[in-house]
Amino acid sequence: MFKKFSLMTLTALAVLVSPAQTARAGSNLAAGIAGAIIGGAIVSSHQKNKNRTRSRTYTRTRVSSAQRQENREVQTSLNYFSFPAGTPDGVFGRKTRSAVSSLQIYMNYPVTGQLTEFQKTVLLTSYHRTIAGSVAVSQIIGSSHDGVRAMLKNTQAQMAGGSGATYAAVQSQPQIIVQPQAVVVQPAQPVVVQPQTTVVAAAQTGSGGFKMPSFGSAPDTSSMANHCNKISLITSTNGGFTNVSTMQDPVFALNEQFCLARIYAISQSEDMIVQVQGVTAAQMQSQCETLGPAFKEQVASLSLGSRDQVIAKTSDMILSSGMSPAQLSHTAKICLGVGYRTDNSDVALASTLILVTLGEPVYGELLGHHLVNGFGTSQRNDLAVQWYASANNAIEMGMPAVFVPGQTDRPALIQAAVARLGAPGSSSTTQQTGFAVPTFGTPSE
């Protein structure tokens, strides 16, 4: 748990975790909490009215056609580097300011929602360099987990320091300095051949009652960031995203939608992070990383069990946390974006499982994507179908779309692609255990 919480967070936790103690404390505590909430609301309302009155005193300046074109270019560049700014219309609204804030967080700039001239130059220069392409650009992108975003920091380093160099090229091409060495002739040593000993890992007893040898596990070298960078380049080459009428490869169509959903999850998480007081982004990341080990069994069951079985096991796990649904949902949405931003599939999967189990089945689309691609799971198209279907059914029943809500034909595209993947099936069982979930408070009412 975090050591630092705001007063409101501590008060909320006291009420949520210890209802019995709160009842015994009497009406004074309840009155005090209510007074604080009402007082805060009055102050907030007064401040909003004051800001609203003040905003009316300003006159709207006309934006020249040249400025509007530059704004469009900024929005296009933000979208290209996975900072969703919406439709490039030349008008800097809420989405564009949110995208700029996300860019500033990534680049370690002060978060203002407005670009300075230097920041704008870095963004536009990085975009044009990447679009133009070159061997150096390919090396920079290919050698970084950040993918195309690595060009932003590369350009920033070159423009800010001019010292040289590069964000990734220096790592891939280190300078070699040859020092003069004294030549020393050593006497010949006898060659001793040591007998080789074969070491076999100790057998472990599996849950089925038999002894299973264990030689460790193969490292997971898959990168969701690199995967989406490749998908993005192919999409650009194709002239745009796949739709129902142009779809030829259903897996590629689903990959495009996965990468879009990933961007939205990261953006939502970054917007929520800046609103949390008393906790740094690094501390949040550290806390989110505890979800992976905590939900290890539930994540593993995704590759073996049906949707209903996985949700049942996740539900048991959630009940052991002692946290309210609102706290869990708020935390899971933050950690979901952290998992995707840091390329940690275990964190992303655990966060998604929490959200789906809490009654937000639209997020189940992500679990389908993971099962299709094998990010943190086995590749199981048959099991993926169940998660895709439940997410689409939820949207058809009236639940709002979480990812790319403006693309109304997106559910139909996913449904058409999923229809060609296979039939659902399989089942399994896993164990549950108690755990502690990090908490970043709840969204303000």
Q: What is the pLDDT at residue 435?
A: 55
Mean pLDDT score of the chain, rounded to an integer? 73
- Alpha-carbon dihedral of residues 311, 318, 370, 148, nearest 10 degrees? 160
Residue 280 confidence class, pLDDT cut points 50, 70, 90: confident
Collapsed DSSP state (helix, strand, coil) of residue 343: coil
Q: Look up tokens 């030689």; give the residue.
A: 215
**Pick the residue with more confidence: 220 or 325?**
325
Residue 32 confidence class, pLDDT cut points 50, 70, 90: very low
Report pLDDT digits (tens) over 257-272: 999 899 888 888 888 8
Report pLDDT digits (tens) over 164-190: 344 443 333 333 333 444 434 444 444
Name the β-bridge partners of 205: 211
Which range in 6-15, 170-179, 206-215 is most confidently predicted, on average pLDDT?
206-215
Q: What is the value of pTM for the model shown? A: 0.53
Residue 62 confidence class, pLDDT cut points 50, 70, 90: low
131-170 in b/e form (b: 16+ CB < 10 A) is eeeeeebebbbeebebbbbbbbbbbbbbeeeeeeebbbbe
Query: What is the average pLDDT across 338-357?
Result: 93
Q: Is 321 a residue whose pLDDT tops 50?
A: yes
C-alpha distance from residue 190 to each of 184, 216, 242 (Å): 18, 37, 68
Q: Fill in the amino acid letter for 196.
A: Q
Q: Report the largest interatomic distance among the alpha carbons of the chain, rounded to a whole angstrom.
A: 92
Report pLDDT digits (tens) over 230-239: 888 888 777 7
Domain coordinates of the chain in residue numbers?
A: 7-56, 65-167, 224-418
Q: Is 198 a residue whose pLDDT tops 80?
A: no
Q: What is the pLDDT at residue 203?
A: 41
